[in-house]
Amino acid sequence: MKVHFLGTAAAEGVPNPFCHCEVCEKTRHLGGRNIRSRTSVLIDETLKVDYPPDSFYHALRDRIDLSKVEDLLITHTHCDHYNPADLEMRIEGFAHGIDKPLHIYGNDLAIQGCRLALPTLQEGKRFAYHRVLPFKEVQTQTAKITPLLADHDPMETCLLYYIEKDGKTILYGNDTGWFPDETWEWLKTKPLDLAILDCTGGYNSNKRSRNHMCIETVLEVQSAFERTGILKARGQIIATHFTHNAELVHDDFVEAFKPYDIQVAYDGMTVYL
């Protein structure tokens, strides 16, 4: 299984184009892996998690054929993860040679937002909508998924995704702080090959931060995985969704996580399971 990290930043990107803080200025100077666009991943070219405003840029940069994507999983409707109006470029008249719909999975807000943003005549032709519920397994076109509860926006049912494909298991674990108890309980019997974790915060003494994780929370999650056997013996943890407000650049995150064998994602990074 190929996991392609298209973007690895929080909402403002790194550098924030309006910001002149030390990290943003340093990022502009260093370039390379320090430059981060809004977060999304692509699995085996056919399953995508979230559709941020940078999706057009991702497709050009990494030479991705988005027409191959069959399943789109939406975690929540914050603007850095959800840009349904841009999907209009997939409708008949704009996109040619497409013979099947894009299946979109998400909570009530995400699905209703897509139906409002996109032409209703395209339903069933270029788009198929699936409202999902926490802890209810769904067989998609490309994988088996189970939405899990996140701790993020208290005004929305934000979701994480447990993805099973080709005998491998992935937890797509952002945006969230310390997982809700129901999610921890569900994960106890689901060993992981890969956990992709939110690391929006930098150093913070709070080991169980809310809404987003920090470095200490990621390490606490790793400890909990080890205690409960959630992560397989050769399972990997990869941190993503970084912000300039963490006051760290890429190498700083690498240095922080290196002793714990946790990888730091960067835009364009690919891993194989």
> For every one of its 273 residues, what pLDDT tens digit does the chain have, with 9 covering 90 and above?
999 999 999 999 999 999 999 999 999 999 999 999 999 999 999 999 999 999 999 999 999 999 999 999 999 999 999 999 999 999 999 999 999 999 999 999 999 999 999 998 788 899 999 999 999 999 999 999 999 999 999 999 999 999 999 999 999 999 999 999 999 999 999 999 999 999 999 999 889 999 999 999 999 999 999 999 999 999 999 999 999 999 999 999 999 999 999 999 999 999 999
Q: What is the CATH number of the domain that holds 13?
A: 3.60.15.10
Structurally, the chain folds into a number of domains equal to 1
Q: Please tell me the distance from the alpha carbon of residue 257 to that of residue 213, in angstroms, as a whole number.
A: 14
Containing domain of residue 161, as a range? 2-272
Question: Is 161 within 8 Å of 75 (Cβ atoms)?
Answer: yes
> In 3D, which of 139, 148, 232, 239 has the Cα closest to residue 197?
239
Q: Please tell me the distance from the alpha carbon of residue 263 to that of residue 271, in angstroms, as a whole number.
A: 10
